[in-house]
Copies of this chain bind each other. A is one copy, B any other.
C-alpha cells in the first residue's frame, strides 16, 4: 500500500477513461494529460482527453504527440461513455466548466494535482503542493501502473516539468525535477527541440509586439517603476493576437533596477486589464486593491473601466504612492 495504490487499482479495473485538466491549459496540464493518456492506451484502455478550449499557440506542437488520425487524444465531445474520470493539474471542479456533467457521470472520480486546494471533489486524490509539477506525480503514477515509459511519454513529462519550473529557473525547481529529468533523458527525449520550441521560438508578430512594448514604455518614480500598454488598435496594426500579450509583463520584469512593473492591455470591450509585478519590497497587492483588484504582494492585477490615459495616470499614481512608503529596495 502506498499513496497510489487506490488510484492504480481504480485505473486497472476501468476500461473506459476520460482525462480532464483545467481550462486555459499550460504545459504541465497538457503534458500530464498526454503522458497519462499514452500510458493508459498502452494498458489497452479506451482513453481520451476531453478539452473545451484551444491548446495555446506555443504548445501546438504537442499535437504531434496526439496519436493517429482516427483515434485522436484530444476530443471536444466524448466518443464513448467513460467509467472513470481522471482530473490532472486541476483541483477545482470550477475549472472543468462545461465538462462537469461528463465528470459527474463517471462511476469513479480521481484527482492528481499539485495546487493547494480546500476539500476534494474526487473519490480518490493525490494532492501534493510540494511537487513542482503535476508531471512529477504522473511520472510516479505511471511507474506504479507498471507501464514501460517510451520516448513519447517521456517527452510529455519533460514538457510538464520544463514549463512549470520556467526552464528550471523558478524557485519551485527542486532536486527531484533534475533527477526525474535525468531519468527521462534515458528514453531518448529530444530535449533541445522541445526547449527551443517552447522558449526560443516566437512568432514575428509576438517579437514585434514585445519590441513595441519597450518603445512605448515609460519610466517613472525616479527610475523605480516602468509602465507600458497595448490597445486593440495597436494589436491589429502589429498583426498580434490578444493571447500574445501574456508575456509582456515579463519583458518589463527583466529590466534591472526596476522595482515595480505595470502593464495595461485593452480588452475587446475597451476596458483595461492591469498586471502589476514587484521585484523589491513594494506591495503591489495594495496598489491593485485601491484600483478595485487584488492578488499577491509580488503579483496582482485589476480591471480598469477607464480610457487609456486615465488608466495609465491612475496606475502610476498608485505605484508612486506605494513606492513612497518604502526605500529603494532593488538596485
Contact = CB atoms under 8 A, between A and B. Distances in A.
Interface in A152-172: 167-171
A182 interface: yes
B175 A182 contact: yes
A233 to B, nearest CB: 19
Contacts of A178: 178-179, 181-182, 185
> At the interface, is chain A mostly helix, strand, loop or mixed?
helix
A168 B167 contact: yes
Given A182-B182, A214-B207, A169 B255 contact: no
A254 interface: yes
A202 B167 contact: no
Contact of A170 (B173, B183, B192): B192
A256 interface: yes
Contact of A254 (B176, B182, B202): B202
Interface stretch (A92-100, A193-201, A299-307): A193-201
A268 interface: no
Contacts of A8: none
Contacts of A191: 168-169, 173
Interface in A211-233: 211-215, 219
Nearest to A172: B192
Contacts of A176: 182
Contacts of A169: 167, 191-192, 195-196, 199-200
B168 A195 contact: yes
Nearest to A209: B214
A76 interface: no
A315 to B, nearest CB: 20
A191 B196 CA distance: 21
A178 B179 CA distance: 6
Contact of A214 (B175, B208, B253): B208
A204 interface: yes
Given A182-B175, A208-B214, A211-B211, A256 B201 contact: yes
Interface string A95-116: 0000000000000000000000
Interface of A: 167-171, 173-176, 178-179, 181-183, 185-186, 191-192, 195-196, 199-204, 207-208, 210-215, 219, 250-251, 253-258
Given A179-B179, A207-B251, A210-B211, 12 more contacts: A168-B191, A169-B196, A173-B192, A175-B185, A175-B186, A201-B256, A204-B257, A204-B258, A210-B214, A211-B211, A211-B212, A215-B215
27 contacts: A167-B168, A167-B169, A168-B168, A168-B181, A168-B191, A168-B195, A169-B191, A169-B192, A169-B195, A169-B196, A169-B199, A169-B200, A171-B192, A173-B191, A173-B192, A175-B181, A175-B186, A176-B182, A179-B182, A200-B250, A202-B254, A207-B214, A210-B211, A210-B214, A211-B211, A211-B213, A211-B215
